[in-house]
Chains A and B, each alone.
Chain A
Amino acid sequence: MKFLQSAASRVIGLFVSDWVQTAVIVAIIVAAWYGISGLHATPLPVLVGLVLLLAAQLVWFAVAEARREARPRPLPSPSPR
């Protein structure tokens, strides 16, 4: 059972490290898909926008995580005796 849980979390972990980032990536893909299939927009500007947005989120989330890591962590509160 422990092995199955470990395998399942490993499979999810293949695609998701940060749920917010994953949601943003999926939202970008859905928006591009809607633009091309739903609105029948000219594909090239949509493709350029798709790549730029995906590249921008990569930069944004890397910098955000670095900021989080750099922030001083609060000291653990003394344990009650």
Chain B
Amino acid sequence: MGQQLFTFGAAFLGSAVESVEALTIVLAVGLTRGWRAPLYGTVAALVSLAVLVVVFGQLIVQRVPESSLKLVIGTLLLLFGLRWLHKAVLRSAGVVAMHDEERAYQQTVDELKGATARHDWVGFVVAFKGVFLEGVEVVFIVVAVGGTSKYFPEAIAGGLLAMLVVAVIGVVVRAPLARVPENTLKYAVGIILTSLGTFWAAEGMGASWPFDFVSIFFLVAAYLAASQLAVQLVRRPVLA
């Protein structure tokens, strides 16, 4: 039960962050050029992503031996999680600017101003590209978290629910979700994915963890401590 919840939560949080970024692009297109083309673009991107999840998910779960799957996906998850964590540490320490949804929204609006209204495909392509490229990260998180843990349905449910929640909020608010604490979410998801990646990569090597799945919480504590240490060291005035 705990592992199912953990898988669902990791997929939900990771997917929510990326969905917020995709929503910003769709809103920028929809509010400046009308809704029909960006909605078609969004649906087309979501269908493409669903095909990716089904094809890759089934291939991975059915064809790849469990130990190799854990080692490869664990390593990829580790690289993915550490990349998010690295960026989150630098943002928390003030070295890198926080991701600004308002600015991303304005940037997309400015780009679209040059295109004339009769080219509706511009809205379609921009929405498709934004949703598809942000969605690739959602697909990876869902496939990696679900495919390795045997809780694929829970991971898919987490990813879908995250997209649904963000989409509903987007429809209600009709503005970029600038108040979502994106860095904090990325920080938390980075730690969770790094811990899951370490856990599965080691299991794929043939090692078994003491206390089995519970050891993930020790891994979370270790990476949280290391990242906090990094934030403190980076903030030191000697670096200024």
Contacts and interface: CB of A to CB of B under 8 A. Distances in A.
B170 to A, nearest CB: 22
Most chain A CB atoms below 10 A, which of B85, B95, B233:
B95
B198 A15 contact: no
Interface stretch (B35-43, B111-119, B150-158, B200-208): B200-208
Contacts of A67: 239
The contact size tier of chain A is 35 or more
Contacts, number: 111
For the complex, would chain B's binding face be called helix, strand, loop or mixed by DSSP majority?
A: helix
Interface of B: 71, 75-76, 78-80, 82-83, 85-87, 89-90, 93, 95-96, 129, 132-133, 136-137, 140, 194, 198, 201-202, 205-210, 219, 222-223, 225-227, 229-231, 233-234, 239-240
Given A55-B226, A58-B227, 18 more contacts: A6-B129, A7-B133, A11-B136, A15-B80, A25-B78, A26-B79, A32-B202, A36-B207, A43-B208, A54-B82, A58-B85, A58-B226, A59-B229, A59-B233, A62-B230, A66-B93, A66-B239, A67-B239
Q: Ordered nearest first, which 9 A-B pairs have the shortest CB separation?
A: A55-B226, A43-B207, A15-B79, A62-B230, A66-B234, A59-B230, A33-B205, A36-B205, A62-B89
